Structure 1
């Protein structure tokens, strides 16, 4: 346990952990005064399995945090030879379930190392900071100590084109610093004959506590579960969410073993979770994704604000164009991936013209796969890509009076700086419906080489993330609906009914059936294997390992 502040709360958590019979080594930041440190030592003096490690000054974003973890871990492994798993936590962490349930869970996964370990080259989730450059530039001072000097050093190194060499055999990975490693893996990292060399490199890496163990575990672990057992949420700027008393039910619903960061004044949380309970032991798996939607909605509200409520920092530009296109049209992303023959089904039930991927890299997939479409438009990709906007506007002008529908996804030609998507998103005639993460289904069904699939998944996720960003800017005027794949598949009939009513609002017919879903057996396992291999699939939502088929009763309305 790394402790920096709120030592009284750290003492409460230490007693809770020690009461289960598990040893605990506490590192107290040397910045903490001697009086406060002495009170903490006295508060747990009666606990024989609680020890204190040698103190050092800790500074955010520097090697000192990794050094503190190393010191405490070495002491724990040497003093308690029966320990089989080591759980890293902070003084701001709060156990959400009895320690006995954590022990039972680890016994069911005896060889697994639970640590978020994401290849920095595959997924860029760094917010407001450095990604690859944190490994290739020098960072001799802490960011918070002197931000101006820190920024000037970075600028100077970029100007001089300085680039550090990454040690041979290492592939930089990043992730949460709160992990649970097996004794074998942790010992391998601490006793690695190259440890001094690796430390010399990581001491000048930015925020090494997010990369040192996350990178070296790839050299020593037998089985990596790329997920942190500690629940931690971050906002769109990369700052951690703080949990308060009114988050009690939310935390209970997650089934996680530990939460971070908890406000020291959250008396209700500490009382509830640190009070022994007589309830039967639960074997539930941690499900942090259960509360992802709640945080996603909160983040969306924070970023975009409420309709009609303007802030000084948010003045949307006015769209002075007199209509970008001639007729309303519908754009679908991810539907042909999750449904069988979606194009044929939609053209039958909605009586509209349904194309394939009009902007596919090879050629324009017109309805019926015609080579020349209305208005003399060719399916040639080179002609289409010469001016994608004109291609779309000409198609819609030439087919006035008939609803046009087509597919558009991350694998399609995006144009320079996502120009076409930006154009459609700002068009009030556009109806854009997105099932995020559905691009992974064709990869899953392809059965190709997994290393190639992982690289392609990382590429498509980067593109779709940028696409979703374009669809959520203040300038958007299109009618946009976005579901994660997990949300959509809970009840696919409901969104399909909504889309049908918008595409054919004057139709007297009712939507009597929905298209058949593709077989997704094993898809959840495929996503977890991507995580285990270092790629973090984020856009599918809380997709379960073993998805339950939608209720057949929803298929008829």
Structure 2
């Protein structure tokens, strides 16, 4: 017994003839159904190419339309010719004109010879199907679909809605239980003959004529009725995208197709000459395969689909600009935003850079310029330190900076007086880490207040503005929708255990590295701060973000006496 092939063709007839000849020359009967919409000249040229092959039949009886009964009728017509003209066929393999054998014909013949009573057809109940695209599962069988979805989509959708509204339901014949599966199957002669010769076939065919996409349910349902043994899988490798359209295989998929161990693949690009040359041959190396296992490449396709739908994390480009609700992260890599530490410690950026090996910037969103590390004016990716260019789109500025420095963690300083438009972006980015010492903005103001020419009214006004802006920023970062990791201390809380808190920041910025702080950065002179905060309070402003004023004064005085706070004089 041998295996026969039924090919459904409607385009790229040159490639289809090449595949049909390859199969026929290796003693596999082939019946080709050519769509009647193909021109008579093209059909004649196709038949002429196969004229000398006695085990090839070419028929043209149906104008096949996707999703309609015509595809099933064309398959039934070709299968009838196969069973009538080739009694030596034990299995019938359904394929399309864009399919390509991936393994030698003899390997398929041997495989089926060891399983003479097995039908290979994906066949699952509607409750178990998770791959249907279009919103119709059981309704494929209970509604009527008299018009083409592709040609008359609006009429199709209107008629479906009307049937749902009036509660219309078709009666499913008692003799069958609807099943779904891939269109491409390999059935035994006995099963196929039983389907074609069934006494109630006119009734079954009449029912399936109004089922949507019957080529994915007709044989899948009837095989359950007649088969002795079914393996619910296809021997054909076919992959579909998120819209339900088949993937095309090109020349650069050669090694991928070989790894699948499947016997046939669809859909092959007609111009993939390297694939046709490689697989339509008798190369002995093509026979070294195991059990067909398309699952080997499922993971690769899943990753490709995810990348196509979601894109690469943090990548923004003209051809695919991600929607905010469809991205895992706003930026391409983890980064840290530190607020208050640069004013609390002298040369904090240099100290942190030496300790962690990370790129530590100044205030990237400061009013005067983007303070890149090392004082650079142009950074990776051509990013300028111009605040005008940066503030035109601060979110894109940060996303580009992180994308262009992948592999190196970026750390930058922030302050309440910086461009706050970036904070909603940072707050919703799971790649972001923020450490905030609230109230630290008062330290440089306190240093200005001790100058003889200080304008305290202006300083008080600026302090009120900074506290209000920092309060709004903390509220934003604390929202349930915030995805950034936040560490927040008031100035007093931080000073109570400055080394421990700084150690925590370093550990979270550089996870996996056990760096114990043996050399703390020098803290700036904080002695004017309590007096300045008290003066603000006396003028009617409550500097609540810094913490309790009495505790702050005790910490500064006690810390200096015991040497707990290293203060730069």
Q: TM-score, normalised by structure 2?
A: 0.56
Q: Which of 320, 325, 332 is residue 316 of structure 1 equivalent to? A: 325
Q: Structure 1 residues 216, 477: CA separation in 2 closer, same or farther (over 3 Å shift)?
A: farther
Quote the Cα distance in structure 2 between the aligned partners of 1:36 and 1:307.
48
Shift in CA distance, 156/79, structure 1 to aligned 2, threshold 3 Å? same
From 101, 125, 132, the equivalent of 2:138 is: 132
Which residue does the alignment assign to 2:259?
Answer: 253
Counterparts of 2:482 and 2:124 in 1: how far apart (Å)?
32
- Consecutive unaligned residues of structure 1, counting only runs of 5 or more, are 320-425, 430-474, 480-500, 509-557
Paired residue for 1:155, among 158, 161, 164? 161
Deviation of the 1:90 alpha carbon: 0.4
1:363 counterpart residue number = none
Select 1:204's aligned residue among 210, 215, 229: 210
**Which residue in the other structure is 2:418 paired with?**
none
C-alpha distance in structure 2 between counterparts of 1:276 and 1:259, whole Å: 17
CA–CA separation in structure 2 for the residues paired with 1:224 and 1:278: 30
Q: Any residues of structure 2 matched to 1:70-149 within 5 Å, and which?
A: 70-149=76-155
Q: How does 1:305-344 map to 2 (within 5 A)?
A: 305-310=311-316, 311-312=320-321, 314-316=323-325
Residue 243 (structure 1) aligns with:
249
CA contact under 8 A between 1:25 and 1:52: conserved in structure 2? yes
Does residue 298 of structure 2 align to residue 289 of structure 1? no
Q: Secondary structure at the match of 2:95?
A: coil
Q: Is the 8 A contact 1:124 1:131 kept in 2?
A: no
- How far apart in 2 are the matches of 1:233 and 1:131? 20
Count residues with an aligned counterpart: 335
Distance in 1 separating the partners of 2:141 and 2:290: 38
Contact 1:11–1:43 (CA under 8 A) maintained in structure 2: yes
Is 1:68 the counterpart of 2:74? The answer is yes
- Alpha-carbon offset, residue 172 of structure 1: 1.0
**Are residues 277 and 196 of structure 1, via their aligned partners in 2, closer, same or farther at CA, if it must alter by over 3 Å?**
same
Shift of 1:195: 0.6
1:27-70 CA-to-partner distances (Å, cap 9, x unmatched) read: 00001000000000000001110011242111000000000000
Aligned ranges 1:487-502 → 2 under 5 Å: none
Give the superposition deviation at 1:275: 2.2
Alpha-carbon contact 1:105-1:283 (below 8 Å) kept: no
Mapping 1:28-43, distance limit 5 Å: 28-43=34-49
- Cα distance in 1, alignment partners of residues 123 and 482 from structure 2: 35
Partners of 1:54 and 1:239 lie apart in 2 by 26
Is the alpha carbon distance of 1:228 and 1:476 closer, same or farther for their aligned partners in structure 2, counting shifts above 3 Å? farther
**Distance across 2 between alignment mates of 1:265 and 1:317:** 35
Q: Deviations over 1:169-203 (max 9, x none)?
A: 31111111110000010011111111111111100
Cα separation, partners in 2 of 1:427 and 1:221, compared to 1, 3 Å: farther
Task: Identify if the C-alpha distance between structure 1 residues 428 and 267 changes in structure 2 by more than 3 Å, giving closer, same or farther.
Answer: closer
Using the alignment, how far apart are the partners of 1:317 and 1:212 within structure 2?
37
Unaligned 5+ segments in structure 2 are: 1-6, 329-427, 432-480, 486-507, 516-569
Residues 101 and 282, structure 1, Cα contact 8 Å, conserved in 2: no
The residue that corresponds to 1:540 in the other structure is none
Q: Secondary structure at the match of 2:96?
A: coil
- Determine whether 1:22 maps to 2:41: no
SS of alignment partner, residue 316 of structure 1: helix
Q: What is the rounded CA distance, in whole Å, between the counterparts of 1:96 and 1:318 in structure 2? A: 38
Aligned to 2:188: 182
After TM superposition, which residue ranges in structure 1, 4 or more long, deviate above 6 angstroms?
Answer: 426-429, 504-508
Matches of 2:175 and 2:47, distance apart in 1: 42
Structure with more contact order per residue of length (Cα contacts < 8 Å, sep ≥ 6)? 1
Bigger Rg, which one = 2
CA distance in 2, matches of 1:294, 1:238: 17
Shift of 1:477: 5.0
Structure 2 vs 1, CA of residues 279 and 316 (structure 1 numbering), >3 Å: closer, same or farther? closer
| Aligned counterparts of 1:281 and 1:124: Cα–Cα separation in 2 | 34
User: 3-state SS of the aligned residue for 2:128?
Assistant: coil
**Cα RMSD for the two superposed structures:** 2.6
Q: Tell me the CA shift for residue 122 of structure 1.
A: 2.2
Give distance in 2, aligned partners of 1:318 and 1:3.
41
The question of whether the paired residues in 1 share the 8 Å contact of 2:8 and 2:97 is answered with: yes
Whether contact under 8 Å (1:115, 1:227) holds in the other structure is yes
Paired residues of 1:179 and 1:229 also in contact (CA < 8 A): yes
